[in-house]
Amino acid sequence: MSEEKRRAPRLYRRIILRAAAFGEEPPRWSFVTIHNLSSTGVLFTYDKPVYEGMLLHFKIDFPDRVIQCMGRIVR
């Protein structure tokens, strides 16, 4: 049996996420679907070119609130 090496448990649920490149004025939000989400990151597919180190603004729509945050592309 392989040992779990992840730092945080993943939530595997479809959640709508809006992403926009940091520094775009006005931001051009794209809707993406999250593959999984944890306290240390989010895995999603984005329809725009990205590069490692790029900063993105995120808005995650939960049923009772919208969470806004910023993230960095790590791979």
Condensed to tens digits (0 to 9), the pLDDT of residues 17-48 reads 899 999 888 989 998 878 888 878 888 888 88
Sheet with 16-21, edge to edge strand ranges: 41-44, 30-38, 16-21, 55-62, 65-72
Give me the half-sphere count of Cα atoms (radius 13 Å) on the Cβ side of residue 24.
14
CA 75 and chain centroid, separation: 12
- Whether 12 shows a pLDDT value over 80: the answer reads no
- Model pTM? 0.70
CA separation for the pair 67, 26 (Å, rounded) = 19
Q: Provide the sign of the torsion angle of the four alpha carbons 69, 38, 28, 31, taken in this order.
A: negative
- Whether 73 shows a pLDDT value over 80: the answer reads yes
Residue 1's pLDDT is 47
- Whether 4 shows a pLDDT value over 60: the answer reads no
- Element at 5 (helix H, strand E): none
Residue 29's pLDDT is 92
